[in-house]
């Protein structure tokens, strides 16, 4: 008897690939599986237990591809960059008209756009799919952001919807647009993730260094916040991490962890793309920068006894203020992310659906939170000028929480506890809400030294002023 063909193939049995393959198998799909190091395949199938009957292990690329029913859906869960290009080159000659290759890694959306273009005309389709939720999410319900053709989406959709996280029965997966749309949305998701993690860490820092609280006390506070409007996966994780004890020393786990944060690139890409599009995502930039500073630990240690703090007396903000400040700053970080999505949607003609994006971020992904449901509601109503902080309910929440954010930023500045992301959020808000800013002086400076010209408030056109000669410039 010939074996039934697979509904999908998963190439790459690392943490994410194996979790997705088992999730698909559990949802009743037949899954062809393979891996570059073939030794892993047998172990993976053995560990799959009863789900092994749904798996078709293959040791060669040829047998893997021919085990999948046509039109084929092949999910690659491999390191982004050159390995993906190499695999496309290897698999393309084996594919038939209508087959779809999916890159489920954290790829640079510029690469995804290029690959999509390179494959168009070959008969095969290319999908860039952002997968969020870490290993547990991939195994039991991730959030997925799909870019590519409608043809590929029609193929993938039943499987993607079956394995996705559900928010009140709504699967957290959507086809968001062509080419790089899915990977761009995932990149911005990660940018927001960076900002949110950083802002939570800043509140931790204020309580640890300013107020002298120990980790369990801060963890307990965060645990309480999880019951309120800050409810989110990242607060839950932070609370649980702060309450975890190191079995070797009996100390709080966080106290034995070195304060140097790694990064794989998605936060940085978000900032780069923001700057390219002339948008400010300063909370995300602050978060990326903070990880950069963190890696310069030896320099910070040298500087500590040498640089005066010049601190001022200040009271530690109340728990209510800290909670409210985080709520306001979280809204602002998300608003920055959504502005970026709006700008990219226009630039690349993607027609991104902000309602759907906020909806599929409500469960499964790392930034899932109560706020995302509020943002989905806000986007469902007309968002004034596409700017979510102008939505009445969101603007009202911000209005209530802003004084707390100000008190927290003032306390951090006075006590010498760096709050780069929280301060950035406040500066962004204050810049956004001011009809007349201060770049009139920037324009004057530019015209002064470079005759760059400026617009006037009272006349149309471009003008230059006659500026005085400066002694320092000679005459
Ligand atoms: C997710 C995560 C996941 C991962 C990122 C961030 O959505 O599941 O964002 O993709 O945690 O790669 O990694 P870095 O912090 O190492 O950049």
Determine the atom of ligand 1 nearest the C-alpha atom of 262.
16
Atom of ligand 1 at shortest range from CA of 291: 15
Does the Cβ of 79 fall within 6 Å of ligand 1?
A: no
Same domain, 60 and 192: no
Active site (catalytic) residues: 186, 193
Residue 414 has pLDDT above 60, yes or no: yes
Residue 83 pLDDT > 80: yes
> How many CA within 13 A on the CB side of residue 165?
24
422 and 376 assigned to the same domain: yes
Distance CA 182, CA 179 (A): 8
Among 3-7, 130-134, 425-429, 459-463, where is mean pLDDT lowest?
A: 3-7
Does some domain include residue 227? yes
Residue 379 CB burial class (10 angstroms; 0-12, 13-18, ≥19): buried
CA distance 69 to 63: 12
| CB contact set of 431 (below 8 Å; sequence gap of 6+) | 280, 437
Number of separate domains in the chain? 2
- Statement to judge: residues 200 and 73 lie in one domain: no
Structural domain includes residue 297: yes
**Together in a domain, 217 and 76:** no
- Cβ atoms of 11 and 38 within 8 Å: the answer is no
Q: Which residues contact 171 (CB under 8 A, 6 or more apart)?
A: 160, 161, 162, 164, 165, 360
- Measured in Å, residue 187 CA sits from the centre of ligand 1 at 9
The three-state secondary structure class of 366 is coil
Same domain (yes/no): 232, 368: yes
Q: What is the CATH number of the domain that holds 231?
A: 1.10.1040.10
Say whether pLDDT at 2 is over 80: no
Q: Indicate whether residue 294 lines ligand 1 (CB < 6 A).
A: no
**Is 469 part of any domain?**
no
Q: Is 367 in the pocket of ligand 1 (CB under 6 A)?
A: no
Q: In what order do the strands lie in the sheet with 100-103?
A: 55-57, 31-34, 8-11, 73-76, 100-103, 125-132, 143-147, 173-177
Binding site membership of 198 for ligand 1 (Cβ less than 6 Å): no
pLDDT at 384: 87
Q: What is the pLDDT of residues 128-141, one digit of tens each?
A: 999 999 999 999 99
Q: For 69-96, what is the mean pLDDT?
A: 97
Same domain, 230 and 308: yes
Last residue of a domain, one of 180, 211, 226: 180
440 C-alpha to center of ligand 1: Å? 40
From 180, 204, 226, the end of a domain falls on 180
Nearest CA to ligand 1 atom 2: 132
Instruction: Calculate mean pLDDT across residues 291-297.
Output: 95
Residue 443 lies in a domain: no
Q: Whose CA is nearest to atom 7 of ligand 1?
A: 132
Q: How many CB atoms lie within 10 A of CB 180?
A: 26
State in Å: Cα 366 to ligand 1 middle: 8
How far away, in angstroms, is 282 Cα from ligand 1 center?
A: 19
Give the ligand 1 atom nearest the CA of 194.
15
Q: Does some domain include residue 444? A: no
Q: Are residues 309 and 408 in the same domain?
A: yes
* Segment 296-322, tens digit of pLDDT: 999 999 999 999 999 999 999 999 999
Residues 167 and 288 in one domain: no
Q: Are residues 14 and 161 in the same domain?
A: yes
Closest C-alpha residue for ligand 1 atom 11: 134
Residue with tokens 């500073």: 293
Residues 97 and 220 grouped into a single domain: no
Share of the chain above pLDDT 90, in %: 97
- CA-CA distance, 78 to 429, in Å (whole number)? 39
Taking the centre of ligand 1 as the mean of its atom positions, its distance from the CA of residue 471, in whole angstroms, is: 54
Provide the pLDDT confidence category of residue 475 given band limits of 50, 70 and 90.
Answer: low
Q: Which of 180, 205, 234 is the last residue of a domain?
A: 180
Q: Whose CA is nearest to atom 10 of ligand 1?
A: 132
Give yes or no for residue 106 CB within 6 A of ligand 1: yes
Tell me, yes or no, whether 77 and 161 share the same domain. yes
Can you tell me which atom of ligand 1 is nearest the CA of 265? 17
In a domain, 468, yes or no: no
What pLDDT does 28 receive?
A: 98
225 falls within a domain? yes
Instruction: Please work out whether the CB of residue 132 comes within 6 Å of at least one atom of ligand 1.
Output: yes
- Asked, for residue 92, whether it belongs to a domain, the answer is yes
Does the C-beta of 136 come closer than 6 Å to ligand 1? no
Query: Of the residues 130, 165, 190, 234, which should be mutated to test ligand 1's pocket, given the most ligand atoms within 8 Å of the CB?
Result: 190
* Residues 202, 320 share a domain: yes
Q: Would you state the pLDDT for residue 16? A: 97
- pLDDT tens digit sequence for 215-260: 999 999 999 999 999 999 999 999 999 999 999 999 999 999 999 9
Averaged pLDDT for residues 180-204: 98
Predicted confidence (pLDDT) at residue 385 exceeds the cutoff of 90: no
Nearest atom within ligand 1 for CA of residue 261: 15
How many angstroms is it from 475 CA to the middle of ligand 1? 57
What is the number of the ligand 1 atom nearest to the C-alpha of 190? 9
DSSP string, 134-196: HHHHHHH--EEEEES-HHHHHHHHHHHHHHS-EETTEESEEEEESTTHHHHHHHHHHHHHHHH
Ligand 1 centre to CA of 190 (Å) is 6
Distance 370 CA to ligand 1 centre (A): 20
**Whether residue 1 has pLDDT greater than 70:** no
Q: What is the CB neighbour count within 10 angstroms for residue 31?
A: 27
Mutate to test the pocket of ligand 1, among 366, 367, 369 (most ligand atoms within 8 A of CB): 366
Instruction: Give me the CATH number covering residue 142.
Output: 3.40.50.720
Its domain, for residue 99, covers 8-180
- Identify the band that residue 3 occupies on the pLDDT scale cut at 50, 70 and 90: confident
- For a pocket test of ligand 1, which of 264, 284, 362, 372 has the largest count of ligand atoms closer than 8 A to its C-beta? 264
């Amino acid at each position: 008897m010939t074996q039934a063909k697979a509904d999908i193939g998963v190439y790459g049995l690392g943490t994410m690939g194996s979790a997705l393959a088992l999730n698909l198998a559990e949802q009743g799909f037949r899954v062809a599986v393979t891996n570059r190091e073939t030794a892993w395949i047998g172990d993976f199938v053995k560990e799959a237990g009863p789900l092994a009957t749904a798996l078709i292990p293959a040791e060669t690329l040829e047998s893997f591809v021919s085990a999948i029913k046509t039109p084929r859906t092949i999910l690659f869960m491999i390191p982004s960059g050159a390995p993906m290009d190499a695999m496309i080159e290897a698999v393309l000659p084996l594919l038939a008209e209508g087959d779809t290759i999916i890159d489920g890694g954290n790829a640079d959306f510029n690469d995804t756009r290029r690959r999509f273009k390179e494959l168009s005309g070959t008969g095969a389709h290319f999908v860039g799919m952002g997968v969020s939720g870490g290993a547990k999410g991939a195994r039991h319900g991730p959030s997925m952001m799909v870019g590519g053709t409608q043809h590929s989406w029609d193929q993938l959709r039943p499987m993607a919807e079956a394995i996705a996280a559900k928010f009140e029965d709504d699967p957290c997966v959507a086809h968001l647009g062509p080419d790089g749309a899915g990977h761009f949305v995932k990149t911005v998701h990660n940018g927001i993730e960076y900002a949110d993690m950083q802002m939570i860490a800043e509140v931790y820092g204020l309580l640890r260094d300013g107020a002298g609280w120990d980790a369990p006390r801060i963890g307990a506070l965060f645990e309480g916040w999880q019951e309120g409007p800050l409810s989110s996966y990242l607060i839950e994780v932070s609370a649980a991490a702060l309450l975890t004890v190191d079995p070797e020393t009996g100390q709080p786990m966080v106290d034995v962890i070195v304060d140097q944060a790694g990064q794989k690139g998605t936060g940085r890409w978000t900032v780069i793309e923001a700057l390219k599009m002339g948008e400010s995502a300063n909370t995300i930039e602050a978060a990326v920068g903070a990880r950069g500073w963190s890696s310069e630990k030896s320099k910070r240690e040298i500087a500590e006894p040498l640089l005066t703090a010049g601190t001022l007396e200040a009271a530690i903000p109340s728990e209510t203020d800290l909670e409210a400040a985080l709520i306001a700053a979280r809204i602002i970080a998300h608003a920055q992310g959504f502005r970026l999505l709006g700008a990219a949607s226009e630039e690349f003609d993607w027609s991104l659906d902000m309602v759907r994006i906020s909806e599929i971020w409500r469960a499964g992904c790392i930034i899932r939170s109560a706020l995302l449901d509020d943002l989905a509601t806000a986007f469902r109503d007309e968002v004034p000028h596409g700017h979510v902080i102008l939505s009445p309910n969101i603007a009202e929440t911000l209005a209530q929480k802003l004084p707390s954010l100000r008190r927290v930023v003032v306390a951090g500045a006075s006590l010498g506890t760096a709050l780069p992301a929280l301060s950035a959020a406040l500066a962004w808000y204050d810049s956004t809400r001011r009809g007349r800013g201060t770049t009139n002086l920037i324009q004057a400076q530019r015209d002064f030294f470079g005759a760059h010209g400026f617009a006037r408030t009272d006349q149309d056109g471009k003008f230059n002023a006659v500026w005085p000669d400066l002694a320092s410039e000679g005459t």
